[in-house]
Amino acid sequence: MTMTLISAADLAGRLGASGPGASDVRVGDVRVGDVRVFDVRHDLTNHAAGRQAYDAGHIPGARHLDHETELAAPRTGKNGRHPLPSRAELGALMAAHGVTPQTLVVAYDASGGMYAAHLWWMLRWLGHERVVVLNGGWQAWVAAGLPTTTDSAPAVQAGRPVEPGAPLVASVDAQAVLDNIDQPAFTVIDARAANRYRGEVEPMDPVAGHIPGALNRPNGENLQADGSFKSADQLRAEFDGLLGGREPGAIVHQCGSGITACHNLLAMEIAGLSGSRLYPGSWSEWCSDPSRPVAKGA
């Protein structure tokens, strides 16, 4: 079964258990040898905000990763706002933070899990199975009265670059999405807000609208009022209604730049609907080429 979420209380217990005897800690049926927590708080309109939030207080031992510089490749103007780094580059980054194949990686943010879900997907794309998202994120940790710190994360022994294994998730490129319009083989689900999907507003990209044929599932609909994910049963019922009998393997997720789409993908995994794919370039890549068609409205 795919690893997806961890509660604040469970994470606190596992961090307390790290060190001697930590090899006896389990997540589900998976034995773990150590834990690495990554703070990926971010703001798409203020790229300094995530680091500032981390410096002001974070989970003890957490290490900060930046979505603009460390978790994205160079931008060309044609490859979207958050192009994926190579799997080798991602493996080297993880190794620099002490991640090994045995490490349980925990990702958290303060945005309902949308940035954490992106790192979750990226690590599964790398072939790393032991990765979970902190359910409720930073807010859940603070609300539980758990300790925070402004201390930097302790230095770790950098290991050999984590060799990419067989990907545990799949993706499609822009050409596949374009071909799919005339010869449908999958259904695209757009995770952006409904007014962006309809093309009424577009605060991030130069063109408004959506990929022709795409359905809309704003990623915020995956959450309860407190910012934690809805139950697996509720998510299953909602996605079943949206999918209309389509198999998960026939679903491709997209958003503005490939980040919030992972939130929908994670929600489907929580619901037991495994096997959907990601279009990493998403709308920001799609609309960079004026020859690609654009749809508007519902």
Active site positions, annotated:
255
Interacting residues of 84 by C-beta distance below 8 A, sequence separation 6+: 72, 73, 90, 122, 125, 258, 280
Cβ(47)–Cβ(72) under 8 Å? no
Q: Which residue intervals of 111-231 are DSSP H helices?
A: 114-126, 137-143, 174-182, 194-197
Is there a contact between 132 and 6 (Cβ–Cβ < 8 Å)? yes
Cβ-proximal residues to 175 (8 Å cutoff; 6+ apart), any chain: none
DSSP conformational letter for 14: H
**φ and ψ at residue 197, rounded to 5 degrees:** -55, -45
